[in-house]
Amino acid sequence: MYFKRGDLIIYGLIIGIFLTLGINVYNIKETKAERAEIYVNNKLKYTYKLQKAEKDFYVDTDIGGVGIKLKDNKIRVTSSYSPRKLCVKQGWIERSGQTIIGVPDKLLIKIVGKEEAEVDFILR
């Protein structure tokens, strides 16, 4: 099996593209998770700061409510009156941008991080 000069150029370009993409993905900054926002019926109801100490609380929803637990800078739904309890099965979330969604409960829990003052673009 012999490589031609054109094959080597194509392979080199492909490897270069993947290396560039890998370096760019590695340099993406992750925002630090700071607080959890809890929405019920598409309205922000509660905002809790993520904390190390354990805290349990209850949020009323249209079908009864959900139990929520904060612990070790993570949050999860512990109980729900929804039939399949999918929001309970989603488990712990801890990174900025992660969400827990309870459809019958009309519940959304979102982890929000520090917003950086970095400008992506300016539109004139």
pLDDT at 47: 94
Domains of the chain: 33-113 (2.60.320.10)
Find out whether 49 and 34 touch, Cβ atoms under 8 Å: yes
Answer for the pair 110, 31: CB distance below 8 angstroms, yes or no.
Answer: no
The tens digit of pLDDT for each residue in 8-66 reads 899 999 999 999 998 888 877 777 889 999 999 999 999 999 999 999 999 999 899 99
Average pLDDT, integer, range 87-106: 93
104 vs 123, more confident: 104
Query: Which pLDDT score is estimated for 38?
Result: 96
Q: Which residue has the higher pLDDT, 90 or 122?
A: 90
Structure tokens at 85: 């309890």
